[in-house]
């Protein structure tokens, strides 16, 4: 499939213009209406929590902007053939990521899939190191060995980054089992796509987590599409959170376009998990572009694509900030350009980072050297493996059928 059929400069621009230029609503917020003469003590509490929520919403929005600008820039570099391999972007899932990561504690562990750049940023990895990983450079989060789908950052307890659909789920369940043995406050969050709920590992993991009361929250990012197949066409029970019932597991569905709702839901689910009740959370998100950057998403009608664009979470949150009076147009514009600058700086850092030396290509393939095996792949033209000396056998020495084996190595 030709890359030219993917994210064009015009396309990215249309996504980049995420902020609907709406007027601030004249209607005051619920909490603001309660302040002033006649306000009750409860109103003061309400107002304080409204302020805290506005502050949190601003932080989430700025993170969402960073993810959006980062992803758009990565998409451009990919279509310019500066980034190789696959590239799956988080365009449309920014609110979900901000809320999920925001609801976790720094000591919690996150296992996710190949659509994870935003999660790496949200967990606190430097944008430059995340971008350098996409470029396959030594300063990358996985030293350039992992690329887009395999980001690891132990410092921020980001445990990958997996290209095999559902591959992260048994590992996350195992990590939760280790925590259960060890004791303590930590918990595990395992995110996945909607299509992943039809993989065997999903059911095996939920079953064991429920049987053993593990501190794990399974989070489904329901962007309504596997690669190109809708949930309705692929899942007999399209209300995916209801699948938890098979395992007597608690579950909920949340609006994945609302970062505060996702934040609250994640905190609640993690609270339950820490108390030994694993949880299945389903967040309804949207995928603004194709499955990966090379997918023109021609299986979606124009109407469906337009509907997806109308659900852009950035436009929603910026509108809400204006309505709440938590930000004005100038602030929104300033935050946009700060996010632009951060993505540009990440790109510059990545391009300046050296490529790993060629002879380190197979380093870290094995945790420990495997006995009697070359570290290089046999037949690899870069690292020729010395041919094995051929043994010529004297005539008549070959074993005949039925005789004890004279094994010829």
Ligand X SMILES: Cc1ncc(C[n+]2csc(CCOP(=O)(O)OP(=O)(O)O)c2C)c(N)n1
Ranges of beta strands (E only) in 162-203 are 188-193
Ranges of beta strands (E only) in 139-261 are 188-193, 216-222, 250-255
Q: Which is nearer to ligand X, 100 or 223 (CB)?
A: 223
Q: Which is nearer to ligand X, 19 or 115 (CB)?
A: 115
Q: Which is nearer to Mg ion, 194 or 295 (CB)?
A: 194
The window from 59-67, 136-144, 224-232, 272-280 that contacts Mg ion (CB under 5 A) reads 224-232
Site size toward Mg ion (CB under 5 A) is 4
Alpha-carbon gap, residue 263 to 281, rounded angstroms: 12
Work out whether strand 279-284 and strand 216-222 pair parallel, antiparallel, or are unpaired: parallel
314-373 residues in contact with ligand X (CB under 6 A) are: none
Binding mask 212-251 for ligand X (x = CB under 6 A): ---------x-x-xxx------------------------
Which residue matches tokens 């190789």?
Answer: 84
Q: Figure out which of the listed residues 85, 163, 174, 296 binds ligand X, where binding follows CB under 6 A.
A: 163
Binding mask 284-303 for ligand X (x = CB under 6 A): -------x------------
Q: Figure out which of the listed residues 99, 103, 166, 193 binds Mg ion, where binding follows CB under 5 A.
A: 193
User: Judged by CB under 5 A, does residue 290 bind Mg ion?
Assistant: no
Minimum CB separation from ligand X for residue 330, in Å? 35
Q: Which is nearer to ligand X, 93 or 139 (CB)?
A: 93
Say which entry of Mg ion, ligand X, none residue 347 contacts (CB below 5 to 8 A, set by partner kind): none
Q: Strand 279-284's sheet: what is its strand order? A: 109-111, 188-193, 216-222, 279-284, 250-255
Alpha-carbon gap, residue 7 to 295, rounded angstroms: 9
Which residue number places its CB atom closest to Mg ion? Answer: 193
Residue 170: count other Cβ atoms within 10 Å of its Cβ: 17
User: Judged by CB under 6 A, does residue 90 bind ligand X?
Assistant: no
User: Judged by CB under 5 A, does residue 194 bind Mg ion?
Assistant: yes
User: Judged by CB under 6 A, does residue 117 bind ligand X?
Assistant: no
Alpha-carbon gap, residue 377 to 390, rounded angstroms: 20
Q: Which long-range contacts (CB under 8 A, 24 or more apart) does 157-160 make?
A: 157/106, 157/107, 157/108, 157/109, 157/110, 157/123, 158/110, 158/112, 158/116, 158/119, 158/120, 158/123, 158/125, 159/109, 159/110, 159/111, 160/111, 160/112, 160/116
252-291 residues in contact with ligand X (CB under 6 A) are: 291
The window from 52-60, 103-111, 160-168, 268-276 that contacts ligand X (CB under 6 A) reads 160-168
The window from 132-140, 158-166, 336-344, 363-371 that contacts ligand X (CB under 6 A) reads 158-166
Minimum CB separation from ligand X for residue 156, in Å? 21
Whole-Å CA distances, 191 to 52, 160, 169, 254, 389: 27, 11, 8, 14, 51
Say which entry of Mg ion, ligand X, none residue 75 contacts (CB below 5 to 8 A, set by partner kind): none
Residue 351: count other Cβ atoms within 10 Å of its Cβ: 13
Report residue 13 as tokens: 């621009």
User: Judged by CB under 6 A, does residue 191 bind ligand X?
Assistant: no
Percent of the chain as helix, strand, coil, to the nearest 5:
45, 10, 45
Give the 3-state secondary structure of residue 251: strand
Site size toward ligand X (CB under 6 A) is 15
Q: Which residues bind Mg ion (CB under 5 A)?
A: 193-194, 223, 225
Q: Which residues bind ligand X (CB under 6 A)?
A: 115, 163-165, 192-196, 221, 223, 225-227, 291
């Amino acid at each position: 499939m030709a890359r030219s059929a993917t994210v064009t400069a015009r396309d990215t621009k249309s996504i980049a213009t995420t902020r609907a230029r709406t007027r601030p609503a004249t209607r005051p917020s619920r909490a603001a209406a309660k302040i002033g003469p006649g306000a009750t003590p409860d109103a003061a509490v309400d107002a304080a929590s409204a302020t805290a929520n506005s502050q949190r919403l601003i932080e989430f929005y700025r993170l969402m902007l960073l993810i959006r600008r980062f992803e758009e820039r990565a998409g451009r570099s990919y279509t310019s053939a500066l980034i190789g391999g696959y590239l799956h972007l988080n365009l449309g899932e920014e609110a979900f990521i901000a809320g999920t990561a925001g609801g976790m504690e720094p000591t919690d562990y996150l296992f996710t899939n190949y659509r994870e750049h935003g999660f790496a940023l949200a967990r606190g990895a430097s944008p430059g190191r995340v971008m350098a990983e996409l470029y396959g450079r030594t300063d990358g989060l996985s030293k350039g060995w992992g690329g887009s789908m395999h980001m690891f950052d132990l410092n921020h307890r980001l445990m990958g980054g997996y290209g095999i659909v559902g591959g992260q789920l048994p590992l996350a369940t195992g990590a939760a089992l280790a925590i259960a043995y060890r004791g303590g406050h930590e918990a595990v969050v395992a995110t996945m796509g909607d299509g992943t709920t039809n993989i065997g590992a999903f059911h095996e993991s939920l079953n064991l987590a429920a049987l053993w009361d593990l501190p794990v929250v399974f989070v489904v990012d329901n962007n309504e599409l596997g690669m190109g197949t809708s949930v309705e066409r692929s899942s007999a029970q399209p209300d995916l959170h209801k699948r938890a019932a098979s395992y007597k597991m608690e579950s909920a569905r949340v609006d994945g376009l609302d970062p505060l709702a996702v934040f609250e839901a994640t905190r609640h689910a993690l609270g339950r998990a820490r108390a030994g009740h694993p949880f299945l959370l389903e967040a309804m998100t949207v995928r603004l572009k194709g499955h990966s950057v090379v997918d023109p998403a021609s299986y979606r009608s124009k109407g469906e694509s337009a509907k997806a664009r109308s659900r852009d979470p950035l436009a929603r949150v910026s509108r809400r900030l204006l309505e709440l009076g938590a930000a004005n147009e100038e602030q929104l514009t300033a935050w946009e350009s700060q996010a632009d600058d951060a993505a540009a700086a990440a790109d510059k850092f990545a391009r300046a980072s050296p490529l790993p030396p060629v002879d380190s290509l197979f380093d870290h393939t094995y945790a420990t050297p495997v006995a009697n095996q070359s570290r290089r792949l046999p037949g690899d033209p870069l690292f020729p493996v010395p041919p094995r000396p051929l043994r010529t056998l004297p005539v008549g020495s070959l074993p005949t059928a039925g005789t004890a084996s004279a094994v010829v190595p």
